Amino acid sequence: MLAYIGKRLLETIPILFVVSIIIFFFTHLIPGDPARLVAGPDASLEEVAQIRANLGLDQPVWKQYGDYMGGLFRGDLGQSLVTGHEVSSMISTRFLPSLYLTIASMGWALLFGLIIGTVSAVFKNKWPDYVGMITAVSGLSLPNFWLGLLLIQLFSVQLGWLPTGGLNTWQGYVLPSIALGAGIMAMVARFTRSALLDTLKADFIRTARAKGLKESILIPKHALRNSMIPVVTITGLQFGFLLGGSVVVETVFNFPGMGRLLIDSIGFRDYPTIQALLLLFSFYFIMVNLVVDLLYSLLNPKIKYAT
């Protein structure tokens, strides 16, 4: 196990190197001049040129990339072109809110998705199955930004129960997590139902029933556990996407997370901040996939990892 983990961690080095090249050069293809945005619309060409030189943007792109990689090896993510603050400190203040939002969204989505999927499989082609699948299709069909606006209108504007945005209290997580997790819940429900239906047809399930094992024990302890590998796979992938994919939801709710920071940075052509965020999202996604692979062996001891 440790050898496999070490191998996977070593494999991330060339992957992140290639990703850093793609991110860096594509970031510099974003239309607009950061120096002009920093200087303001009334600045002269000489002032813009001076700011461009101070920011190092007058250097060849390959030289800028070399300086960028040199900073990364030293643990320096650079300074924001807009605020002048360290990018690492800007990200650190936004990381935990985004992480908590991701955990909250995935937590309720996984819980209700498993329940809906299990009930739908057990009561196949009956009214609980129809209700569960209608809920799942609705969750997949509704765009999260539209659902967010609908939640704000209902629970904030009309009922006044929850804040419209920001992060003054824990209540600020409620509506964004619902908008962000609705699609995940629906996907988990559908995968759980499909996998559980296949498992319930297996020989060991028929044998357990023939021995008189109660359904209340058979379903959660034997059938559901053996159906979890595809569910864990899709959950892990979505968990990786959530942290970096909450851009629209964070913007709708004015949530102070990394997704909102990325949108603001793109608007100001803040290259160092954009590059650091995208590289962090890539590393996070790779680590989530590693954790998912390790969970397979816990769900099925027959799975062995080659080194």
**pTM flag (> 0.85):** no
pLDDT band at 199 (very low <50, low <70, confident <90, very high): confident
Each residue of 87-113: pLDDT tens digit? 888 888 888 888 888 888 888 888 999
Helices (H), the chain: 2-27, 34-39, 45-54, 61-73, 87-122, 127-141, 144-151, 174-200, 203-210, 215-217, 228-245, 247-252, 258-267, 271-299
Residue 306: both structure tokens together: 């080659």
Each residue of 124-173: pLDDT tens digit? 888 888 998 888 888 778 888 888 888 888 888 888 888 876 666 777 78
> What value does the mean pLDDT take over residues 262-289?
83
Q: Of 189-193, 203-207, 296-300, give the lowest mean pLDDT range.
A: 296-300
Each residue of 280-292: pLDDT tens digit? 888 888 888 788 7
> What value does the mean pLDDT take over residues 194-218?
83
Q: Going from the N-terminus, what domains does the chain have, and what CATH number goes with each?
A: 87-299 (1.10.3720.10)
φ/ψ of residue 86, rounded to 5: -65, 130
> What value does the mean pLDDT take over residues 195-216?
83
* pLDDT value of position 305: 61
Q: Which residue has the higher pLDDT, 34 or 86?
A: 86
* pLDDT value of position 306: 59
pLDDT higher than threshold 70 for residue 307: no
138 to each of 9, 72, 123, 149, 228, how far by Cα in Å?
A: 39, 44, 20, 16, 23
Q: Any residues with CB less than 8 A from the CB of 248 and at least 6 apart, and which? A: 144, 145, 148, 259
Specify which residues 86 forms β-bridges with. Answer: 79
pLDDT higher than threshold 80 for residue 303: no
Interior CA angle at 96 toward 55 and 146, to 5°? 90
Residue 55: both structure tokens together: 């920011």
Q: Which residue has the higher pLDDT, 116 or 62?
A: 116
* pLDDT value of position 245: 58
Dist. CA 17–CA 129, nearest whole Å? 47
Could you tell me which of 165, 97, 171, 140 has the C-alpha nearest to residue 238?
A: 140
pLDDT band at 116 (very low <50, low <70, confident <90, very high): very high
Interior CA angle at 77 toward 74 and 82, to 5°? 145
For the chain, the average pLDDT equals 81
3-class SS of residue 83: coil
Q: Of 41-50, 125-134, 209-218, 226-235, give the lowest mean pLDDT range.
A: 41-50
Which of 79-83, 193-197, 245-249 is predicted most confidently?
A: 193-197
Rounded to a whole number of angstroms, the distance between the first and last alpha carbons of the chain is: 9
* pLDDT value of position 112: 92
pLDDT higher than threshold 80 for residue 240: no
Dist. CA 248–CA 100, nearest whole Å? 17
Each residue of 9-36: pLDDT tens digit? 787 888 888 888 888 888 877 777 777 7
CB 284 within 8 A of CB 243: yes
CB 167 within 8 A of CB 268: no
